[in-house]
Structure 1
Amino acid sequence: MKRRWLKMLKVYFKELLELTRDKKTLIFTILLPTLIMPIILLGFTTLSVKIAQKANVETLKFAIVGGDYFPELKEVLTNNESLKFSLVDVDKSESVNELINDSEIRFALVISENIRKDIDDGLSGEIEFRYNDSAATSALIYKRVNDAIDSLKVAELNKRYKSIGLTQEQGEAFSKPIKLVRKSTADKRESLGEKFGALLPYILILVGLSGAMYPAIDLGVGEKERGTLETLLLTPVPRFQLVFAKFAVIFTTSFLSVFLSLISFALVTTIFGPMFVNSMGAEASKSAGEVLETLSTVSITDVFLMFSMLVPVAAIFASALLSVSIYARTFKEAQNYMSPIMIVVFLPLILSILPGVKLDWVWASVPITNVSLAIKEIFKGTIDMDMLFVIFASTTLIAGLLLALCNWWFQREQVLFRN
């Protein structure tokens, strides 16, 4: 018995050594998982901050149609150079849309001839804000314009308050007799986890899938195409041990991918993150620093719990992908089977990020979705440990059943030699 297991270990290390010689395997199991977290957390954050900063300092060309009806608007936008607005003369409102779509101007303000009368009568004076909402920074442009004319809104409101003998404070209270003040009971980590916690399991599970995919294809149908499967079957090693050795190799690569991703996540939040924050501008570094400070509250225990949830998931991927690879006739056929498998994995992941989907005893029974929700709750710091054990046990059971199916699959000659 001991010799048999030693032979199985030899098969395991032989398959693992062959995989390390494949560049694709090294890229998808080591390089990609190690870099994906820094790229997402630091790279994308840097890019979004740069885009926002550029949009906030860009001089925006705009046009006003009907400016004579409300000259105060033009004064507010053009007299203050710090607002960075540049007025372009336009005669007709019909040409405004074309100028916006051709990027000659970024937005236009079309003023009704009745605006002054409406304001004096206590009504709302409407100003039409025309812009191209397909532009990436359209929301930032609207915010800049809206903030710029706030002083104009306040001035008109104060006139109304004085006309009825109210102070500004009384006037604001008069327009809002009941004000609902929001006060969250969640701490910063829980709040951040609810907003961004779904992204972490999404990345980790897909990294685990990609880390198992290419080794599975190589160890299954790859053996067929190389003509080494027959030789392997003639070795004095029971078939179930051959299956387990191949499964262990694929599980190792998937396991390693997830492990490296979590390590890079920890390094980003503790070491590289603060260095990155210091290189930002004052305003951007303040908000990014708060996020990283919150992320730093994720303890080693939390990281271990996330990792423990992903271990049986890696086993599920290893068993399922090896079964598919054994069944396929060619490398190309195996690749074609991978797309449906990815869709099957994507669907429960999408379910876990839908609004209203919370970790309860119903969702805890849905594979992949339960692990994704559990990691999100761990990230938030609100995980129920009893439910965690149930999810781990059920996911491990599914992985065991799939491994048994893979072993049964490997025993059938009509599957191994479909050619």
Structure 2
Amino acid sequence: MFEVFLKEVKELLRDRKTLFFVIALPIVIFPVLFALLALLASKTTLEAEQKVHTYYIANAHLAPEFEERLFYHKSFKPYEGEERFESEQALVDAVRAGKIDVGVVIPNQFELGQPLTEQSRWQIVFNDAQSINFVYKRLETLIYKFAAQIRATSLKALGVPQSQHKALLTPIAVTKVDTADKRENYGEKIGAFIPYMLIPLVLMGASYPAIDLGAGEKERGTLETLLLTPVTRTQLVLGKFLTVLASSIACAVVTVSSLAVWIGIASGFGVLDSIKEAFASVSIWDYVLIFALLLPVAVMLSSLVLAISIYARTFKEAQNYMGPLSMLVFVPIVVSLMPNMSLTSLTAWIPITNVSLAIKEIIKGTVDYGAVAMIFVASALLAGALLTCCVRWFSRETVLFR
């Protein structure tokens, strides 16, 4: 078995494609890709926030002070065309036509300086599908500040001392006291995305070598030669399996190590300092637990991809089978990202979902070690069953010589 393993490893190390997918791609391309995506996202967000948006106020004469505030705001400029949009529908049509970016409708009943008899409802017209919701927030803030000024004037006219305005308008102030520490907060927000990255990496690291060791051997006609050697089929398939498993784990370890190095470099320039500080309390024991949970997952996925590869007639056919498998792996990971999904006695038995939830709890620092032990046992039993099926699959002549 180990002779087969060493032979397969040597062949994979001679294959430039394998080295690229397992080593070069995780070390260089993934971190660079993530950095470019982050740079592009920050750049587009900054450009969108700095863009000056064209506005139009219907019935602007009813609130000249608000119009003046909006005129001098750095993010807005008035519409300079000849057309007039004095109704909600006219503003909707103008926004859809691209003549303005946002419109404000001041109702005809609004009279500045008059005693307030009822609530005045202003409307902000914009296209929320264009991801400019912060424009709405800015306008809403301006309107609330203008409303606060009107409120203060009205209360003063009623004879209420200014010192009592705050207590009268907000008799009870609520202060949030968060019992979660920084690690738990960050762990809840981004801890669920760590398995979303790690488990697909485990699958990717196993897929290419498995295709080459199964369908690739068939296509090259070397599988028959291996079967003639004085090695049992069980030893042969286990040797191939160990090669696929080693490649799978190596891909995940190399990628995570590479990302850790890049994050350390970014932290040296003052970037991601808060995240680095939050995860400083994650101990070596926690990382060992994460690796221990990923190990049976790697065994599961390596067994599956090797069985698929052995079944396929050609390299291309095996690649076609890997697509649906990738989707099936993503589904339980996505389930773990759903709101209110937590590690319970029920979710602890759902394959891959249980590991994803456990990794999130480990990152948060709120893990139940009893549940982790249960998950490890359940995953190990499933991994053993899948490996047994893979060995039996390899022993069938109808599979090997399709």
TM-score by length of structure 1 reads: 0.87
**How is 1:265-304 mapped onto 2 (pairs within 5 angstroms)?**
265-275=259-269, 277=271, 288-304=272-288
- Out of 38-47 and 200-209, give the one that drifted further: 38-47
Aligned to 1:357: 341
Q: Are residues 356 and 257 of structure 1, via their aligned partners in 2, closer, same or farther at CA, if it must alter by over 3 Å?
A: same
Aligned to 1:190: 184
Aligned to 2:165: 171
How far 1:163 sits from its partner (Å)?
3.1
- 1:88 partner letter: Y
Contact 1:251 1:315 in 2 (8 A): yes
Matched, 1:345 2:336: no
Aligned to 1:331: 315
Match of 2:295 among 306, 311, 329: 311
How far 1:327 sits from its partner (Å)?
1.3
- Out of 331-340 and 65-74, give the one that drifted further: 331-340
Aligned to 2:54: 61
Aligned to 2:76: 85
How far 1:236 sits from its partner (Å)?
1.0
Contact 1:42 1:273 in 2 (8 A): no
SS at match of 1:186: coil
CA distance in 1, matches of 2:16, 2:163: 69
Aligned to 1:321: 305
User: Which 5+ residue runs of structure 1 have no aligned equivalent?
Assistant: 1-7, 278-287
Q: Are residues 50 and 19 of structure 1, via their aligned partners in 2, closer, same or farther at CA, if it must alter by over 3 Å?
A: same
- 1:289 partner letter: D
Contact 2:63 2:112 in 1 (8 A): no
CA distance in 2, matches of 1:305, 1:272: 26
How far 1:405 sits from its partner (Å)?
0.9
Q: Are residues 297 and 145 of structure 1, via their aligned partners in 2, closer, same or farther at CA, if it must alter by over 3 Å?
A: farther
CA distance in 1, matches of 2:331, 2:233: 34
Match of 2:351 among 367, 373, 378: 367
Aligned to 1:112: 107
Q: Are residues 146 and 297 of structure 1, via their aligned partners in 2, closer, same or farther at CA, if it must alter by over 3 Å?
A: farther
CA RMSD of aligned residues (A): 2.4
CA distance in 1, matches of 2:290, 2:33: 19
- Out of 393-402 and 171-180, give the one that drifted further: 171-180
Contact 2:116 2:154 in 1 (8 A): no
Q: Are residues 388 and 91 of structure 1, via their aligned partners in 2, closer, same or farther at CA, if it must alter by over 3 Å?
A: same
Q: Are residues 31 and 105 of structure 1, via their aligned partners in 2, closer, same or farther at CA, if it must alter by over 3 Å?
A: farther
Match of 2:360 among 358, 372, 376: 376
For residues 381-409 of structure 1, give each alpha carbon's deviation from its aligned partner in whole angstroms, at most 9, with x where no partner exists. 11122222222222122111111111111
Aligned to 1:34: 27
**How is 1:398-409 mapped onto 2 (pairs within 5 angstroms)?**
398-409=382-393
Matched, 1:72 2:72: no
CA distance in 2, matches of 1:313, 1:34: 22
CA distance in 2, matches of 1:118, 1:289: 51
- Out of 36-45 and 91-100, give the one that drifted further: 36-45
Q: Are residues 296 and 238 of structure 1, via their aligned partners in 2, closer, same or farther at CA, if it must alter by over 3 Å?
A: same
SS at match of 2:130: coil
- Out of 59-68 and 364-373, give the one that drifted further: 59-68
Contact 2:241 2:306 in 1 (8 A): yes
CA distance in 1, matches of 2:53, 2:260: 41
Match of 1:52 among 38, 45, 58: 45
How far 1:162 sits from its partner (Å)?
1.7
CA distance in 2, matches of 1:157, 1:247: 74
Contact 2:306 2:390 in 1 (8 A): yes
Aligned to 2:255: 261
Match of 1:209 among 181, 203, 208: 203
CA distance in 2, matches of 1:395, 1:347: 17
Aligned to 1:228: 222
SS at match of 1:389: helix
Contact 1:219 1:246 in 2 (8 A): yes
Contact 2:62 2:112 in 1 (8 A): no
How far 1:326 sits from its partner (Å)?
0.9
How far 1:76 sits from its partner (Å)?
0.7
CA distance in 2, matches of 1:320, 1:214: 13
For residues 195-225 of structure 1, give each alpha carbon's deviation from its aligned partner in whole angstroms, at most 9, with x where no partner exists. 1111111111111111111111111111111
How far 1:84 sits from its partner (Å)?
3.1
TM-score by length of structure 2 reads: 0.91
- Out of 106-115 and 92-101, give the one that drifted further: 92-101
How far 1:67 sits from its partner (Å)?
0.9
SS at match of 1:184: coil
Aligned to 1:410: 394
Aligned to 1:132: 127
Contact 1:116 1:125 in 2 (8 A): no
For residues 47-96 of structure 1, give each alpha carbon's deviation from its aligned partner in whole angstroms, at most 9, with x where no partner exists. 3333333233222221222211222221111135xx23210144024553
Aligned to 1:244: 238
Report % sequence identity. Answer: 41
User: Which 5+ residue runs of structure 2 have no aligned equivalent?
Assistant: none
- 1:186 partner letter: A
How far 1:35 sits from its partner (Å)?
4.5
Matched, 1:159 2:153: yes
Contact 1:76 1:149 in 2 (8 A): no
How far 1:374 sits from its partner (Å)?
0.8
